[in-house]
Amino acid sequence: MTDAVAAVDEVLIGKHGGVGRIVLNRPKAINALNHTMVARIAPALAEWAGDDEVRAVLITGAGERGLCAGGDIVSIYHDAKEGGTGSREFWRDEYLLNAAIANYPKPYVAIMDGIVMGGGVGVSAHGSVRVVTERSMIGMPETGIGFVPDVGGTYLLARTPGELGTHIALTTARLSAGDAIACGFADHFIPSGKIDAFVDALETSSVEEALAEFTEPAPESDLLAQQGWIDAAYSADSVAEIVARLQASGVPEAAKAAEQVLAKSPTACAVTLASLRRARVAGSLEEVLNEEFRVSVACLGSADLVEGIRAQVVDKDRNPHWSPATIDEVTDADVATFFAPLGDLELGLTAPQSQR
Q: Which residues are catalytic?
A: 71, 119, 142, 150
Rounded Cα gap, residues 264 and 166, in angstroms: 14
CA neighbor of 164 nearest in space, from 107, 109, 221 = 221
Checking 325-333 for CB contacts under 8 A at 24+ apart, the result is 325/266, 326/266, 327/239, 327/240, 327/243, 327/262, 327/266, 327/269, 327/270, 328/240, 329/266, 330/239, 330/266, 330/267, 330/270
Q: Which residues pair with 116 in a beta bridge?
A: 68, 138
User: Which amino acid, 263?
Assistant: A
CA neighbor of 121 nearest in space, from 155, 87, 75, 76 = 155
54 phi, psi to nearest 5 deg: -100, 115
CA neighbor of 174 nearest in space, from 242, 260, 237 = 260
Phi/psi zone of residue 103: left (φ > 0), alpha (ψ -120 to 50 degrees), beta? alpha
Environment class of 328 (CB within 10 Å of its CB; exposed 0-12, middle 13-18, buried 19+): exposed
Instruction: Kindly report the length of the chain.
Output: 356
Rounded Cα gap, residues 303 and 155, in angstroms: 26
